[in-house]
Amino acid sequence: MKGINLSKISEIRHRIRDDEYSLTLEIPEDIYYSSYKKINKDIACDIVEFYLEKRHDIGKPHDTHIDHIEKENKVNVFTELDY
C-alpha cells in the first residue's frame, strides 16, 4: 500500500449475513494521491489486502471496487468480506 498511514483510513463495516460483511475504507484524497497516481480495481484490491493483513483480519474479500468522491475530497474502497 506504498506507505498510506492506516490511522488516516476510516473503516465502515456493515453486517450483511452471519458470515458476510460490507467494508468501506475512506481515504482522504491527498493521502491516496501521495501514494498512487490513478484509481483502478487492482489498486483497490491491493489496498484491501494490505489493510486486512495489517489488521490481522481473516476476512476473504470479493466484489472490490473503488470510487473517487471529489466533492468530499476522499477515495472510497468498497469490498465484501466472507468469514
Give the model confidence (pLDDT) of 2-55 as tens digits: 668 888 999 999 999 999 999 999 999 999 999 999 999 999 999 999 999 999
Q: What share of the chain is helix, strand, coil (3-state, %, to 5)?
A: 30, 45, 25
Where do the structural domains in the chain lie, given as residue ranges? 6-75
**pTM for the model:** 0.92
Beta carbons within 8 Å of 46's beta carbon, 6+ residues apart: 1
What pLDDT does 2 receive?
60
Q: How many alpha carbons lie under 13 Å from residue 33 in its C-beta half-sphere?
A: 8
Contacts of 6 (CB under 8 A, 6+ apart): 51, 54, 55
